Chains A and B, each alone.
Chain A
Amino acid sequence: MNESLFASKIKKTLDTGLDIGPGAAARLKAARERALERHRVPAAEFALTGRGMGVLRVGGVAQSWLRILVPAACLIAAAIGLQQWQETRQAARFVAQQAAEIEEVDTLVLTGDLPIKAYLDEDFQSWLKQASQ
């Protein structure tokens, strides 16, 4: 059989079934809008093109040593910058890890049956111990 021909007819039929009813359609629309609210474009990536290279067209006779020195200095500067960046990334990982550890328990405390002060009330704690004896 001609598979793609057959399948395109199936597709045509399936497309007629997209009238899913007002309730579901409304919910889908709401979900779409909610997703768009969350749409964040991350900060534009820094385009690493060969920026330093254009400055090497230095005129003059005794300037040849610059051609070695300048790229070397650029590399060092880049290395320092890179290290700074890596350190902050490590700090970021640390932050994420710490945050993740308390995220779950905080969620449970804040959404649970008991009000916050129940966990803080020491009289309640001792009362519980008494009550279970």
Chain B
Amino acid sequence: MAKASLAIALWLCLGTSLAFAQTNKQSPSWAQLSAEQQRILAPIQGEWNKLDPVRKRKWLGIAQRYPKMTPEEQERLQRRMQEWVTLTPEQRRAAREKYREFELLPQEERQAMRQKWDQYKEERAAQDASKAAATGKPAEEATAASGPAPNPPASLIKQ
């Protein structure tokens, strides 16, 4: 009789453990990643355990694309990875939407986007500098006081 209940228990365990194995597969811990994956995703190692299964799966997919990228793309990816994971979900959603908008622009405008950004930054810096000069305050304070729309916090401004 005891053996029979054992058999039943074993069959139940079978299903549960398969289910558990699947769950583990969905949300691998950092230690479960291959050496190569750990190397590529190193910048986000600290955040890895906080990610939900979807995001983990997405990052593993990106890691799979990594070997085929140009060195420049690889460098950018690793440099921006950490910033990306620390954004709020809304910010990431907004960024994706904005990217898709940009994608719809005609070819010449898209290619010029980087230059436009640099130009914008220059103008902005010049504005801030002149504001600072006018009010006699350091540039950052001046912008913080009069900036119209919220910018990403200074800690995220790299490059």
Direct contact between the two chains A and B in their complex (CB within 8 A): yes
Give me the interface of A with B, judged by CB distance under 8 Å. 34, 37-40, 43, 46, 48, 51-52, 55-56, 58, 66, 70, 73-74, 77-78, 80-85, 87-89, 91-92, 95-96, 98-100, 102-103, 105-128, 131
In angstroms, Cα B64 to Cα A40, docked, is 14
**Cβ B58 vs Cβ A85 within 8 A:** no
Give me the interface of B with A, judged by CB distance under 8 Å. 1, 3-4, 6-19, 21-23, 25-26, 34-36, 39, 53-55, 57-58, 61-62, 65, 67, 69, 73-74, 76-77, 80-81, 83-84, 87, 91, 94-96, 98-100, 102, 113-114, 116-117, 120, 123-124, 147-152, 156-159
| Complex partner residue of A80 from B15, B22, B53, B67, CB under 8 angstroms | B15
Q: Chain A: interface secondary structure?
A: helix
Q: Chain B nearest CB: distance from A83 CB in Å?
A: 8
Chain B residues, CB < 8 A from A124: 117, 120
**Cβ B22 vs Cβ A51 within 8 A:** no
Known contacts A92-B25, A102-B96, A131-B116; decide if A110 and B14 are in contact (CB<8 Å). Answer: no
**Cβ B19 vs Cβ A84 within 8 A:** yes
**Cβ B96 vs Cβ A123 within 8 A:** no
Most buried by A among B11, B53, B84, B117: B11
**Cβ B67 vs Cβ A34 within 8 A:** yes
**Cβ A108 vs Cβ B99 within 8 A:** yes
**Cβ A78 vs Cβ B11 within 8 A:** yes
Chain A residues, CB < 8 A from B26: 88, 91-92, 95
Instruction: List, sorted by A's number, 15 A–B pairs whose CB atoms are closer than 8 Å.
Output: A37-B39, A38-B36, A40-B34, A43-B25, A56-B4, A70-B4, A74-B7, A74-B8, A77-B15, A78-B12, A85-B15, A89-B22, A100-B58, A109-B95, A110-B77
